[in-house]
Amino acid sequence: MASALVTCLLVLVILPSSTVSSSYSNASATTMNASSAKSIQALCQTTPYPAACLDSLKLSVSITIDPSVLSLALRSLQAAISEATKLSSLLSSAGHAGALVESQRSSLRDCRELHQITAASLRRSAGLVEPDARKLADARAYLSAALTNRATCLEGLTGARGPLKDTLVDSWIASYAHVSNSLSLVTRSGGRIGRRLSSSYSHRSSQGRGFPAWVGRRERRLLQDGDYGEVDPASVVTVAPDGTGNFTTVAEAVAWAPSYYDDRTIILVRAGVYEENVEIPGDKTNIVLIGDGRDVTVIRGHRSVGDGWTTFASATVAVSGQGFLARDIAFTVSQFIDDGEWLESTAFPYDNGV
């Protein structure tokens, strides 16, 4: 009896680190399997923060577990949760003895509150990473909701001072890099149904965004809620890098869009890094690009003025067509990529329309 109890306890204690101990139990299993290392590297290149991705998946390379996208998504999510836990304790010590001096009252309180929502969303989503399309869609929705908290707190932190500021900002960025990567990997695992959570999870995300007066009610709904229910379904196409959509590049979808069209053409751009320059010519009117989030849907151009392109042609996305709108998508330029890491500050945050 007693020994059974001891065994039970041992199992409980060992479980969380069983992956680690197994890598020591068999020497040949610890040698890196070159082919799965390659595929993990290729997979990480498709995430917004490849270096953070590799970092979180390193362990998976050394233990020869099932290298499916799903298990790697879970691994990335675990890294996100562990970073978020560190961040939580940093945030609670930030209030002491001038460690962080806010420039705006309550910015720290906001961060704490938002981070609690994020941490809860991460835990919920971790329980949903299973081979089940509905669960994956929910996992994706929780991760998207968590990501909306990222910018809000960072704004408040940027204005703050104090010895803890840099540590806190770095930890915040690192933590959300793993969240972005997890969203990108979960989306690749099949969680691609465009469900939205109730507003309680994504509160603040779409409030208070000032729209120019010319943006009508329908456009507002498109931009604010990603709600394209009023659009003819035949005018909605999907772009996905893995071939599960109608097109694999944004340029192909734009080429498909009808010319001089009075109604909206919706192009859903699934999570991924698109290495292309997109031109929306004058005859392609009323095109709307909707990404999965500007941390995960990235269009990365390769032309630069230095290479002899004009400023207009070198734009990652050059727009001549009228009525163009975009949300939850980032446009960036490859020249600004440093050490394989996508630099946030160079991305043009296009989640607010034109």
Ligand X SMILES: *[C@@H]1O[C@H](CO)[C@@H](O)[C@H](O)[C@H]1NC(C)=O
Q: Which residues bind ligand X (CB under 6 A)?
A: 26, 28-29, 33, 35-36, 67, 237, 246
Least distance between ligand X and beta carbon 27 (Å): 7
Bridge partner list, 101: 161
Nearer to ligand X, 26 or 158 (CB): 26
Specify the residue, 246 or 248, whose C-beta has the smaller distance to ligand X: 246
Cβ 72 to ligand X, closest distance in Å?
13
Tell me 158's DSSP state: H
For residue 287, give every residue at least 6 positions away whose Cβ sits within 8 Å of its Cβ, in sequence order, or none. Answer: 254, 257, 264, 265, 267, 280, 321, 323, 324, 325
Q: Which residues contact 306 (CB under 8 A, 6 or more apart)?
A: 335
> Shortest Cβ distance from residue 20 to ligand X (Å)?
16
Residue 8 Cβ vs ligand X, minimum distance, rounded to whole Å:
25
Nearer to ligand X, 254 or 330 (CB): 254
What's the rounded Cα separation, in Å, for the pair 322 and 286? 6
Residue closer to ligand X by CB (options 33, 116) is 33
Cβ proximity to ligand X: between 208 and 233 the closer is 233
Could you tell me the smallest distance in angstroms from the CB atom of residue 229 to ligand X? 16
Answer yes or no: are the C-beta atoms of 146 and 121 closer than 8 Å.
yes
Cβ proximity to ligand X, 36 vs 335, nearer residue: 36
d(CA 318, CA 284): 12
* Dist CA 273 CA 330 (whole Å): 10
Closest CB 67 distance from ligand X, rounded Å:
6
Residues with Cβ < 8 Å from 63, sequence gap 6 or more? 19, 22, 23, 29, 30
**Shortest Cβ 49–ligand X spacing (Å):** 25
Q: What is the CB neighbour count within 10 angstroms for residue 274? A: 24
Do the Cβ atoms of 123 and 147 come closer than 8 Å?
Answer: no
**Shortest CB 23 distance to ligand X, Å:** 11
Choice between 224 and 265, CB closer to ligand X: 265
Comparing CB distances to ligand X, the nearer of 28 and 311 is 28
What whole-number distance in Å separates Cα of residue 113 and Cα of residue 289?
32
Angle 60-66-72 from CA coordinates, rounded to 5°: 50
Under a CB-based contact definition with an 8 Å cutoff, are residues 303 and 309 in contact? yes
